[in-house]
Amino acid sequence: MKRTSIYLTLIFLVVTAYGQKLTFKEAVELGLKENINLKIQKNQLEVIQSQKLQNNARFFPTVSLNGSASRTDGQQIDPVTGQGSNVTSDFANVSIGASIGIFNGFNRINSIKQSNSQFSAQQDFVRRSEQTIIFDVATQYLQVLLDQELVRIAQETLSAQQAVLDQITAFVELGMRPITDQYNQEALVKNNELLIIRAENNLRNDKSFLAQTLQLDPSVNFELEYPNWKAENIAINSYNLSELYDGAFQQRPDLKQFKALETSSRYSIKTATSGYYPNFSFGVRYGTQYFSRGAANESSFSSQFFDLNPTTSYGFNLFIPIFDGFQTRTNRVAAKINHDNARINKLNLEKTIKIDVQRAYQNYQDAIIAYTASLAQLQSAELAIETQRESYQLGISSQAELSQSNQAYVTASSEKAQAEFTLLFQKILLDYAVGTLKFNDIP
């Protein structure tokens, strides 16, 4: 744990000082370490664990040690003679006692089962929170990568358009093209410069959003490293929707959490019902005391404390509830309502899980189709723009046709980048929907 903390600190220092590239796995690791909500949920897990230990300890006797000592100066009544006198009296006592519940309406047993279920629910909540962080980091990481790619495409497009402008300017100077072609191309170059500005602004905004998730300084300049994943390898994976449904119902931590909460609320009904039953307990107490009024015939401290005054008491205690102002009834009604709400939430989540899995599965299939189509579209656009450039140089096509083919190429390049990045991360999104997403599974 200490080594991991040092490693993450070094990552932060490197990113801060040098603006180095941040890998996806490093970004997820930072997110899991620094996320505020996850820290709060882990702290809550410690609280519930303490409550669980407390409920388990209720089967053991409670033990207490009591003691007091006092001195009284002034007028005091002798309990034997009934005469008052100004004396100084000393008093001291020590006792140790223990008590244990024998029967309390099964309250302890049900409380233990309830706390165990609450602890399991919180553990599953923490696991789902970790998966949500990985999901959020993946989504934001994907967006930043796409923004970086769009900036690169816009810059390459501007360079290509500037080269075309230089060529058209030369043609205009030679009288081979009208001046309007040069003006149109200059407008296109300016438009591409504006597109770069917008793309860079989107990149900065999305990087700031990711920095906030990773708890990094938004002013720090960092670059994201392109994952060493192959879209072609991801595209060949095939899944069965029914098997995904079954896997989600078995693996989703949030469903396990809701089931545990439903179980906990069921035991809370039994715990509340214990107020109708009698309580039966056993206790034992051992103590001694010392008292002195300064008389000559008084026994010594040692004699009183260890020989004359020690006492032992023990016995049973029976408490039978007759009327408690409907407190037990109110607690039981509230517990039944909480159980009914927990059951409703669980059933609703089961329907939501089916929708999540179906959506993720369909998005995965659509991502494969979109990626395949984007490859063909980009190839066609590359051939088209190359043909239009040659035709324009030969005077066969117009500058407008060249601009249209260039715009089609830019669009195809952007859609290909978006389709590729979406497909690269689709496996993570599908694992999140099924509930099998783990940090150790990230390549």
pLDDT at 6 over 70: no
251 and 292 housed in the same domain: no
Half-sphere exposure of residue 240: CA atoms within 13 angstroms, side-chain side: 4
Compute φ and ψ for 282, nearest 5 degrees: -130, 140
> How many H helices and E strands in the chain?
11, 6
- pLDDT band at 334, cuts 50/70/90? very high
403 and 329 housed in the same domain: yes
- Does any domain span residue 417? yes
150 and 207 housed in the same domain: yes
Identify the helix (H) or strand (E) that includes residue 279.
strand 279-292
- Does any domain span residue 83? yes
279 pairs with which residues across the strands?
319
- Which of these, 145, 110, 136, lies nearest to 28 by C-alpha position? 136
Which range of residues forms the domain containing residue 213? 20-60+105-278+324-441
95 and 110 housed in the same domain: no
Half-sphere exposure of residue 284: CA atoms within 13 angstroms, side-chain side: 3
- Does any domain span residue 163? yes
Give the CA angle between residues 66, 67, 72 to the nearest 5°.
145
Split into its structural domains, the chain has a count of 2
- Does any domain span residue 10? no
User: What amino acid is encoded at 333 in this protein?
Assistant: V
74 and 208 housed in the same domain: no
pLDDT at 100 over 80: yes
The rounded percent of the chain whose pLDDT value lies above 70 is 89
**399 CA to centre of own chain:** 55
What is the per-residue pLDDT for 19? Answer: 54
Higher local confidence (pLDDT), 352 or 21? 352
Q: What is the pLDDT of residues 224-251, one digit of tens each?
A: 888 777 777 676 677 899 999 999 999 9
What is the per-residue pLDDT for 331? Answer: 94
Predicted TM-score (pTM) of the model is 0.78
The rounded percent of the chain whose pLDDT value lies above 90 is 43
160 and 176 housed in the same domain: yes
Tell me the C-alpha distance between 50 and 80, whole Å.
Answer: 53
- pLDDT band at 14, cuts 50/70/90? very low
Tell me the C-alpha distance between 188 and 174, whole Å.
Answer: 22
CA distances for 168 relative to 156, 171, 189, 388, angstroms: 18, 5, 12, 14
- Does any domain span residue 337? yes
Mean pLDDT of the chain: 85
Higher local confidence (pLDDT), 86 or 127? 127
Q: What is the pLDDT of residues 120-141, one digit of tens each?
A: 999 999 999 999 999 999 889 9
181 and 304 housed in the same domain: no
165 and 137 housed in the same domain: yes
- Which of these, 90, 86, 88, 99, lies nearest to 68 by C-alpha position? 90
Return the DSSP state at 277: S
- Does any domain span residue 3? no
44 and 91 housed in the same domain: no
Which CATH number characterizes residue 123's domain?
1.20.1600.10
Q: What is the pLDDT of residues 256-274, one digit of tens each?
A: 999 999 999 999 999 999 9
